[in-house]
Structure 1
């Protein structure tokens, strides 16, 4: 292959060029009720990229993409990469103030808006904005003109250390933290993916994640890197998932574990209900053993895996392959192991005081150093304590407490800030969640901690059958240590999810604060 077809000089977007070489006449994308082929998507991205470079004086910059899970948003993402610029996905459903913060923090030099996001531009940018804006699907809506003579002949090459994309995560100060991810980190990551999976041009990949969630990059660039087809999955599809997967012929599924519970509630997890799947991957929150087992029965031809990785470590950094015979026995508090850290990285466990533990420590906060790690946040003030230097290298402190099994696999126990002290006893909230899920009639549960004066109170939110708090207290006394019993229980029809479709712990904590103090505790 020459440089163009192998994509080596083109970083992350080189994976699309590989797919173009493998399946040029194939289907690259299904969204908005449309099907777009590889050649058409490539030509359109080159045209949009040329217009963006013309507006920017021919120099790469930082390009925001305002859109989500539409043909326009996917094309804009590829076009921005084709310019050699860093891409900043921006969700049209997020508050304007947050999006404006991201635009400023990333130093966005141009913006591409999908058709459905165009009406948001006046309120987002204001009347005095000089930011170049391309709205290619809505003539006259932007300030950048799209002309045929501007189209690039080929994508712009990049350097390995150049930033491929910037994503924003929650910040403790209320200001989102920008995470720049380099082309070299992406290249190393997708090398690990190719070693682990046997994706081909015949595969059809789900795309459940919003583009502001880093797992969406897995969907796009594993599908396109293998010459496969990417299928946008709207939330409503989960209510009739067997029919959707069959109609779309999906072979590779990737979502948060919360999707499993929703599909179960709608009757879609009956044995053999998902026969088209070859691979089923889950990430973003703890995968429960019962959920993995139920999904495996519904998708008997699929290999099920639990993936783990914060944004700062380029999508996912560990993987555990579910084995119905051995995995249940390796679970801790009902959570499936997250597996081993990718080859080529160093990792260690640190104690509660934030210092590296002994090499044989069984539990601790996971620190990782290696090629998938970002070197720091966009604003170095956000780095505080997250990127310590130890043993001559920089590490990323994940903030996740894990347990090491004798075979070297890791199990996720929870966030450090989900470990609380109740009457002098350290409590893993994940352990309480697991215990509550074992109570009759309970489908799912999340425990949060809040204060009632000087006392720390545990509040359980649960789904399934509503039960009197006293019944919970009686049953949980049989499994939880004295002093760790929650005193407050709140029944919900479903656990709320945040924008990334993870359980909204922040919202539940706020709700707990309102509940505690005005409701009698369980006895």
Structure 2
């Protein structure tokens, strides 16, 4: 791919959908919707007020909806870097992100001056979309590391051009598709929904929280054909009684990403949506949007480890390595490193990239921090986070192994195990859902499958595991709660 020009800027994907379906609905959020032609006209007016004013980055401080969607397109049309910001985040955190990304103007649902930045205003419609190069930064997303400090991840036009070219070849979405949107705009999977739909001239529909009370009914009422969410949504549908065989017959695609997909959940969802092709997509923000894919088949459970579905083969044009803790090739199992055109050039603050972005054999590689196993077919199986290995009374423990064992207990639906340092060893705290049981009874059951030395001593029951804004299990909250459990404060 050329470093000076690019064949498919992200805005050209929307323009493709505009040409195919100008009078069709581009999005619906609650009671608000707009056609492709209306969205394009609004974005051109806003872009006219952004271009040529010395701005390099525009912040979009709005939830999913008209303001955000038009703001994203306007920033792209004006050749600016777009920085999605969550209105629900603390002001200090949002301001730190905006400053780190060089935001000088805001598109906001509320008062922009809360951050001390001017609000974007409209102008004469932009006559011509500004050209972009592959290395230009298209948007900046923020991901928190182990310290919780937001790390800015710049994503280039070249990164996204490569990704959406792959997605177009793999999925073949159609104009009559209706896409769910479950992700917050600060999560890059939201861009998959928008631009895969818009490239096909299809319709994006927001999925509000109350829809999970009867998701099959919601999907049927609105003709949703493409579902994309974190696997956590499967549990929500199950608890509401919606995950029954044949309950979602209208889905053509069922896509999951953002956290590990359990084989049992994949099988149950597939039974509920039997006409859909189900895929498990994997990829950190640094390798936007997803970097590997596994197409679920009846044989998929046999490939999984600890009850987790395979993550598949890396996308075309990318290479991967499995390395041991010393950075040496580890054969068929090790820490997963990936390089290729979807890889961001590095964090906004290079100091955040130490140990993650590494030059090797003349190429930049990203250490995902995930452990994987390569099967004979070349597909990858997720084993767990490298930093989720803990030392418990002399045993080297994979918390994913504990999770899998707990889920095998009678009456347990889901489980997350957290290791907390307790001096010379780590203590394991299990958070689980389903039938509440006495800790001694659970420990007794686990001793049938686990060595006694790694059987957890601490168990806490939840009606449902806590979720963050993107419906992923809130592991940061559970880590803090586990510490409180050991200190006797919870």
- TM-score, scaled to structure 2: 0.96
Paired residue secondary structure (1:395): strand
Aligned to 1:64: 59
Gaps of 5+ in 1: 1-6, 135-143
**CA–CA distance in 1 between the matches of 2:328 and 2:27?**
45
**Do residues 75 (structure 1) and 70 (structure 2) align?**
yes
CA contact (8 A) 1:246 1:276 kept: yes
Gaps of 5+ in 2: none
CA contact (8 A) 1:209 1:215 kept: yes
**CA–CA distance in 1 between the matches of 2:487 and 2:30?**
48
CA contact (8 A) 1:105 1:178 kept: yes
CA contact (8 A) 1:184 1:371 kept: yes
Residue-pair matches, total = 486
Paired residue secondary structure (1:179): strand
Deviations along 1:135-184, one digit per CA (max 9) or x if unpaired, are: xxxxxxxxx4x34xx21123222111111110000034442100001111
User: Which of 464, 479, 487 pairs up with 1:494?
Assistant: 464
Aligned to 2:234: 260
Paired residue secondary structure (1:411): strand
CA contact (8 A) 1:65 1:90 kept: yes
**CA–CA distance in 2 between the matches of 1:255 and 1:507?**
21
**Do residues 369 (structure 1) and 364 (structure 2) align?**
no
Aligned to 1:37: 35
**CA–CA distance in 1 between the matches of 2:26 and 2:72?**
14
CA contact (8 A) 1:60 1:83 kept: no
Aligned to 2:142: 168
Paired residue secondary structure (1:169): strand
Closer/same/farther in 2, CA of residues 71 and 474 from structure 1, 3 Å limit: same
**CA–CA distance in 2 between the matches of 1:82 and 1:252?**
27
CA contact (8 A) 2:6 2:158 kept: no
**Do residues 479 (structure 1) and 460 (structure 2) align?**
no
Aligned to 2:305: 332
User: Which of 396, 400, 403 pairs up with 1:433?
Assistant: 403
Aligned to 1:357: 329
Kindly state the Cα deviation for residue 505 of structure 1 after the two structures are TM-superposed.
1.0
CA contact (8 A) 1:463 1:493 kept: yes
Moved more, 35-44 or 155-164: 155-164
Aligned to 1:3: none
**Pairwise mapping of residues 154-165 of structure 1 onto structure 2 (< 5 A)?**
154-165=128-139
**CA–CA distance in 1 between the matches of 2:418 and 2:238?**
24
CA contact (8 A) 2:6 2:134 kept: no
Closer/same/farther in 2, CA of residues 33 and 8 from structure 1, 3 Å limit: farther
**Pairwise mapping of residues 82-481 of structure 1 onto structure 2 (< 5 A)?**
82-114=77-109, 118-119=110-111, 121-122=112-113, 124-125=114-115, 129=116, 131-134=117-120, 144=121, 146-147=122-123, 150-324=124-298, 326-353=299-326, 355-358=327-330, 361-481=331-451
**CA–CA distance in 2 between the matches of 1:518 and 1:34?**
49
**CA–CA distance in 2 between the matches of 1:184 and 1:415?**
28
Kindly state the Cα deviation for residue 499 of structure 1 after the two structures are TM-superposed.
2.6
Paired residue secondary structure (1:371): coil
Deviations along 1:410-462, one digit per CA (max 9) or x if unpaired, are: 11111111111112221111111011001011111000011334331000000
Paired residue secondary structure (1:459): strand
Aligned to 2:21: 23
- TM-score, scaled to structure 1: 0.90
**CA–CA distance in 2 between the matches of 1:246 and 1:72?**
27
Paired residue secondary structure (2:187): coil
CA contact (8 A) 2:391 2:425 kept: no
**CA–CA distance in 2 between the matches of 1:212 and 1:198?**
26
**CA–CA distance in 2 between the matches of 1:402 and 1:317?**
14
CA contact (8 A) 1:189 1:372 kept: yes
CA contact (8 A) 2:6 2:133 kept: no
